[in-house]
Structure 1
Amino acid sequence: MKFTETNLENKELPFSIVHYAAETLGFVHAEQWDYERVMFDYKIVHHDGTFYLRIPAYAVKGDMPHPSTTVKLMTPILGKYYYPHGVEYGEETFPQAVLDKCRTKLTSLTKTIEQELQEL
């Protein structure tokens, strides 16, 4: 499922701001990057399964994961984890509690990024 109403997609921002804002809210950056792409994951464990809210981004200026790199955020997506295959993004029916949690996290992320940009 894609979250297109977040106003995050297509924003170009310093990696350091996105990284700080995402990790402050519990997103994990970990080893999910190469020199051009990065993924921030938020794991949600629900009685219906394990879900991942993912915010992909790619470098438009510089290399990952340098703090001064400019990244362009892509549309946040939600997927369900299936053992042993991994996260699937097909036509899932997601629990309302999971969707609500995702929307809350994305709203908080947007606000945190905006606050950090104002402090520059």
Structure 2
Amino acid sequence: MIEMPSEIENKQYKLIDLEKKLKPLGYDIGGNWDYDHGYFDYKMDDEVSYLFLRVPFVAIDGELDQRGVVVQLGRPFLLAHKYNKGLDDHVADPNPWVNQFSEPVDSDAQFPQNWVKTGQDLVKELEAILLYS
């Protein structure tokens, strides 16, 4: 994980407004959200590892499943998830409807240095979209 200091840190927005601005750029709300916090993820690459720019946020007025919730952005960071290729046939639960994907080799893998500049450019784009448009 590599932290990316940014001017968007601690800025507050309605979650719906963030979604309208960020989803067309390729950001998704990651699956690791809860009622009080979540992440916008931008998948940068998926050749060897999944490389993400992740933008954390916390609910400060309401809960994430409520209409009109206001969130505060945290410090963006670069994150790599390295996965086994193919299906995992060594899972404890044999039910394919429950667990059909491979386990991560490393859910916090080393982030490749040659992608850091791309991450910095994405953060600058975020700042331009959220602060100056």
Per the shorter chain, which TM-score range?
0.7 to 0.9
**1:94 maps to what in 2?**
112
The runs of 4+ residues in structure 1 deviating greater than 3 Å are 46-49
Q: Which of 1 and 2 has greater Rg?
A: 2
**Quick check: 2:80–2:108 contact (8 Å CA) kept in 1?**
yes
**Quick check: 1:27–1:42 contact (8 Å CA) kept in 2?**
yes
2-structure distance, mates of 1:31, 1:47: 21
Give the structure-1-normalised TM-score. Answer: 0.78
**1:36 maps to what in 2?**
36
**Quick check: 2:78–2:111 contact (8 Å CA) kept in 1?**
no
Show structure 1 runs of 5+ residues with no match: none
1:109 to 114, 126, 130: 126
Report percent identity of matched pairs.
21
2-structure distance, mates of 1:94, 1:41: 17
2-structure distance, mates of 1:27, 1:72: 17
Whose helix fraction is larger, Structure 1's or Structure 2's? 1
2-structure distance, mates of 1:115, 1:74: 18
The answer on 1:49 being equivalent to 2:69 is no
**2:72 maps to what in 1?**
72
Show structure 2 runs of 5+ residues with no match: 84-102
Question: What is the RMSD of the two structures over their aligned residues, measured on CA atoms?
Answer: 2.2
Give the structure-2-normalised TM-score. Answer: 0.71
